[in-house]
Chains A and B, each alone.
Chain A
Amino acid sequence: MAEVQNNEGGGKKKGGSKQKKISVFVDFTPMVDMNMLLITFFMLCTSLSKPQTMEINMPSNDKNITEEQQSAVKASQAITLLLGGDDKVYYYLGQADYKNSNSLTETSYKAAGIRALLLMRNSEAVEKVKALKQQKLNLKISEEDYTKQVSEIKNGKKTPVVIIKAADEATYKNLIDALDEMQICNIGKYVIDKITEGDKLLLKNKKDNGGLSQNVAK
């Protein structure tokens, strides 16, 4: 409804020039209506946030790799996480002790659970990364240097190696949570491995409070 109002001289000018005063008024209401409709459409049919991703490198399944090429993990540095069903997570340090049901410790996905353990085990690297982060905040080092040095620290010789083994009952969320902890605790060396029969036994043993190992002892 665009309209041009034609107000003929209100008598301000007495004769002489015959300039007409034209006021132009365009009604924008339909335009606003249409825009609102379009906005509603965009809000309903699109998503603002792009999904996040996590990059992982899996060990190769190649059977041709010889024993020497596989890097053996020092028992003292290894932490094995066993992800069980019902959001339960267990860990053992170093090598598994199949005779003792207490070798497997139950913990949780909460901050006081595996994170506390991993942070304690990896305290050296965590401290270094923290110092670096502070330096980056103070603009003392560039972003590139920061990422380079962080990855160096993460892959240092003394950092722990975490082996994640998920049982079939575990959910995808458990796996992601465990991988998340690796990132939070600045652990560079971790691997997702297949669960072995021995680990399954350990889990089962833990469930019946060491009933299995007692049977074996008998």
Chain B
Amino acid sequence: MSRVKVARKSTRIDMTAMSDVTVLLLTFFMLTSTFVKKEPVQVTTPGSVSEIKIPEVNILQILIDPKGKVFMSLDKQADMEQTLTSVGNDYGVTFTPEEIQKFKIQKTFGTPIKNMKGYLAMKSEEQDKVLKDLGIPCDSVDNQFKDWVKNARATNPDLRIAIKADQNTPYSVIKSVMNSLQDLRENKYNLITSLKNEEAK
């Protein structure tokens, strides 16, 4: 009786080709994508047919959440430092070098200037929790937003202002932001939207 012979096959698979593909994919993702900025509030921008891309540098982004809280972000750390110091001067608050250092690494800021010191003293996890309930005051009684924009503009004259607001934000909030900008003679700015395909028929 002869035994059935099971052919012994090597189970080794050559992964070289697979590795090539993954490296290619990795390169593609690294080159084409941009990192998601950490934002204190989730914002859904309305769709539009506009196809202008936003420039990457020298952007002053104004983030407005559906409840009307206003946050700001600057893309250059040097500008952040300068702006904080000059806004602090306007309101008679001086910041220590450690506080400035902590402020510089913030992605988005939006704290009333009175709370700024206390906010900067917190740990970063606590800051994340607190920030979404704060926001820069922007009404006729206490318009700190205007001072932030004014000082940011003074720091970097090439700044472009971009407004990123949620699609359900009531117009009254947008109006007060736009009015503050108009008062500062910032008449040209961008509105951030997401892509929507529609053509005139």
Task: Mark A residues whose CB is within 8 Å of B.
Answer: 25-29, 31-32, 35-36, 38-39, 42-43, 45-62, 83, 111, 115, 119, 126, 166-177, 179-180, 183-186, 192, 194
- Smallest beta-carbon distance A54→chain B, Å: 4
Interchain CB contact under 8 A, B168 and A54: no
Interchain CB contact under 8 A, B190 and A172: no
The distance in angstroms between the C-alpha atoms of A31 and B12, with both chains bound, is 15
Given the known inter-chain contacts A35-B22, A171-B170, A172-B171, please indicate yes or no for A48 contacting B36, CB distance below 8 A: no
Closest to B169 in A: A172
Closest to A59 in B: B187
A56: chain B residues at CB < 8 Å are 188-191
B23: chain A residues at CB < 8 Å are 35
Could you show 14 A-B contacts with beta carbons less than 8 Å apart? Answer: A27-B15, A28-B19, A39-B26, A47-B33, A50-B34, A54-B190, A56-B190, A60-B187, A61-B179, A119-B200, A176-B167, A180-B50, A183-B50, A185-B200
Task: Mark B residues whose CB is within 8 Å of A.
Answer: 12, 14-16, 18-19, 22-23, 25-26, 29-30, 32-36, 45-54, 64, 162, 164-172, 174-175, 178-179, 181-183, 185, 187-196, 198-201
What are the 10 A-B residue pairs with the smallest beta carbon separation, nearest first? Answer: A28-B15, A46-B33, A35-B22, A173-B167, A61-B182, A53-B190, A168-B172, A42-B29, A173-B46, A172-B169
Given the known inter-chain contacts A53-B52, A58-B178, A172-B174, please indicate yes or no for A36 contacting B22, CB distance below 8 A: yes
B26: chain A residues at CB < 8 Å are 35, 38-39, 42
Interchain CB contact under 8 A, A62 and B185: yes
Closest to A36 in B: B22
- Smallest beta-carbon distance B10→chain A, Å: 10
Closest to A29 in B: B15
The distance in angstroms between the C-alpha atoms of A52 and B49, with both chains bound, is 9
- Smallest beta-carbon distance B160→chain A, Å: 9
Closest to B61 in A: A51
A170: chain B residues at CB < 8 Å are 170-171
A50: chain B residues at CB < 8 Å are 34, 53-54
- Smallest beta-carbon distance A40→chain B, Å: 10
The distance in angstroms between the C-alpha atoms of A46 and B181, with both chains bound, is 31
Interchain CB contact under 8 A, A60 and B200: no
Question: A57, A169, A170, A180 — which one has the most chain B CB atoms within 10 A of its CB?
Answer: A180
B195: chain A residues at CB < 8 Å are 49, 52
Question: A56, A169, A172 — which one has the most chain B CB atoms within 10 A of its CB?
Answer: A172
Closest to B173 in A: A172
- Smallest beta-carbon distance B66→chain A, Å: 9
Interchain CB contact under 8 A, B53 and A42: no
Interchain CB contact under 8 A, B170 and A169: yes
- Smallest beta-carbon distance A37→chain B, Å: 10
